[in-house]
Structures are given as C-alpha cells and as structure tokens.
Amino acid sequence: MIIGAFAVVYFVWGSTYLANAWAVRSIPPFLLAGLRFFFAGLLMLLVGLALKQAKVTARQWRNAFIAGFLLFVVGNGALVWSLQYIDSG
C-alpha cells in the first residue's frame, strides 16, 4: 500500500512539470499558474462551505495572502516562467 501511494505521488508530481512545459507553449506562464491555483482555491472554498467550516478571521486572510504570494506567485510563477527556456525533464 505504501509503495502504491509513493508511486501515485511520484507519477502525479513528476507529470506536473511535463504538463506545465506543454501548456506554457500556448498559455502565458503567469496566467497558467494563476488559473491553476484559482481553480484549486475555488474548489477548496466550495468544500469548506459545504462542510460548514469555521469562519476565517482577517488576520488569517492576511497570513494566507502573504504565504500564497510567496509560495505560488514567486515560487510557482518562476517555475512556469523558466519552463519557456529549459526542458522539464
């Protein structure tokens, strides 16, 4: 079971870079990264609303925005931008 779980993670995580490299050929890199995380965030919001999770405070929104900017805009944005110039594999 553990080996199967690692195999799934290995395949999904590894194929992400290949998919990004293909997508960046026709979609601007920052739009690609933004759309990917917009839809992921929307899905998480809908799940949270459906499960009636606790309300988020203003401080939590601020911290989430800072972390999201650093992780996704800087980190992932640089990754998809670089895929225009280098191979994914």
Between CA 89 and CA 86 the distance in angstroms is: 9
Residue-range domain boundaries for the chain? 2-82
**What pLDDT, in 10s, does the model give residues 33-62?**
888 888 988 998 899 889 988 788 999 999
CA-to-CA distance for 85 and 60, rounded, in angstroms? 37
Percent of the chain residues past pLDDT 70, beyond the cut: 98
Q: So what's the pLDDT on residue 17?
A: 78
Where residue 43 falls (left for φ over 0; alpha for ψ -120 to 50; beta otherwise) is: alpha
What's the average model confidence in pLDDT over 23-42? 85
Which helix (H) or strand (E) is 78 found in, with range?
Answer: helix 77-82
Q: Is the pLDDT of residue 25 over 90?
A: no
